[in-house]
Structure 1
Amino acid sequence: MKNLIKILFLLLTFTVTKAQQTKVPSIKYEELEKRIRQEKDKLLVVNFWSTTCAPCVKELPDFMEVNKKYVGNQKFKMILVSLDRLVDMERVIKFIKNKNLTAEVILLDDIKRMNTWIPRFEKNWDGNIPVTIFYKNGEKIHFNDGEMSKENLENTIVKNLP
């Protein structure tokens, strides 16, 4: 029985570790915009955050809990867009592991042009984070400025999930 428990523990550990990213792609705004448009027939939740943003870090466990609930649904996808600097990539990867982030993480390496791309995501976005934008069939359907509660996140998903 003890051996069975050890084997199950090792399998669970391997599964959780495998689910986490070990590499984070660094992309520019145009690539992210293209990626959003390509996610057809899905509800796409895009969260903009940073490892140095306290409200971002605070809301991420709720986002991971909700992501876990819907991850098997082919009509749902969550992407966490880190606004950390490219030179801080190792910190981002360590953060993913330490915080058990299972949603896909992308680093948006386009800080110099933020005054160009921020209004393209949302004209009322003043640049503060966290921000969560919901897309359905590549079209923006909801913008949440600031920290998002688990209840609000789930309600928005349920209301819009195909």
Structure 2
Amino acid sequence: MFVKKYLVILFLLTLTFSVNAQVKLISLNELQQRFTKGKDTTYVVNFWATWCGPCVKELPHFENLKTEYFKKPVKVILLSMDFKSKLNSAVIPFVKKHKLKSEVYVINEPNQQTFISNVDKKWSGALPSTLIVKNNMRSFFEKEFTNIELEDLVKNIVHGDYKP
């Protein structure tokens, strides 16, 4: 009986830590470092929030993209603009409930407006928004994507057929 209880507790702790490990804090500098390390990688960064209806609606499109490009040099990053104080109370439960498989981060900057301006000068801060980085090319979109729009855009960028 003791062994069963111990195994159940161990399993629940492992599940909790694996969900927590799935969502991390990230600064703009750390995000930029990711881009410079993966020279042949296309990064698709979706800026979203748990409270944003259009963001929640389009998240499955980014999850589909992650699955579609699983064996290709494409990384889907979901960057939550929720306050970092909401990491445990809102973001982690949201990620668990929606079973998100992409890399999920929460912004870790003292000033969100400075972060927004440094991501793209034209970004008003509206959500959802998406940044796609490949080599030295950066394309920023302040809009909600349909699944087809997102797939076509990423396909064109990956194959070098997109010109901003």
Q: Which one of 123, 142, 150 corresponds to residue 145 of structure 1?
A: 142
**Highest relative contact order (Cα 8 Å, sep 6+), 1 or 2?**
1
Change in 2 beyond 3 A, CA 1:119/1:87: closer
Write the mapping of 1:1-162 to structure 2, written as runs, cut at 5 A. 21-23=19-21, 24-73=23-72, 75-90=73-88, 91-110=90-109, 112-137=110-135, 139-162=136-159
Shift of 1:89: 1.1
Q: Is the Cα contact below 8 Å between 1:79 and 1:106 reproduced in 2?
A: yes
The 4+ residue runs of structure 1 with deviation greater than 3 A are none
Partners of 1:149 and 1:50 in 2: how far apart? 17
Question: What are the Cα deviations for residues 81-101 of structure 1, in whole angstroms up to 9, with x where unaligned?
Answer: 111112211221111111121
Query: C-alpha distance in 1, partners of 2:139/2:47?
Result: 14
2:51 aligned counterpart, secondary structure: coil
- Output the TM-score relative to the length of structure 1: 0.79
Residues 39-60 of structure 1: CA deviation (Å, up to 9, x unaligned): 2101110001111111100100
Match of 2:6 in 1: none
CA 1:140–1:48 in structure 2 vs 1: closer, same or farther (change >3 Å)? farther
Contact 2:44-2:77 at 8 Å conserved across structures: yes
Alignment gaps of 5+ in structure 1: 1-16
AA matched with 2:30: E
Q: Distance in 1 between matches of 2:142 and 2:108?
A: 21
Q: Determine helix, strand or coil for the equivalent of 1:22.
A: helix
Partner of 1:25, secondary structure, is strand
> In 2, Cα distance between the equivalents of 1:142 and 1:84?
23
The one-letter amino acid paired with 1:44 is: Y
Paired amino acid for 1:108: I
State the alpha-carbon separation in 2 of the partners of residues 72 and 104 from structure 1. 15
27-36 vs 53-62, greater mean Cα deviation: 27-36
Check conservation: 1:83, 1:109, Cα contact below 8 A. Answer: no
AA matched with 1:76: V
CA separation in 1, counterparts of 2:35 and 2:47? 14
**Mapped partners of 1:87, 1:115: distance in 2:** 17
| SS of residue matched to 2:111 | helix
The answer for unaligned runs of 5 or more in structure 2 is: 1-14, 160-164
Aligned residues: 141
Task: Give deviations 1:85-131, integer Å, cap 9, x for gaps.
Answer: 12211221111111121110011122x42232222221111011111
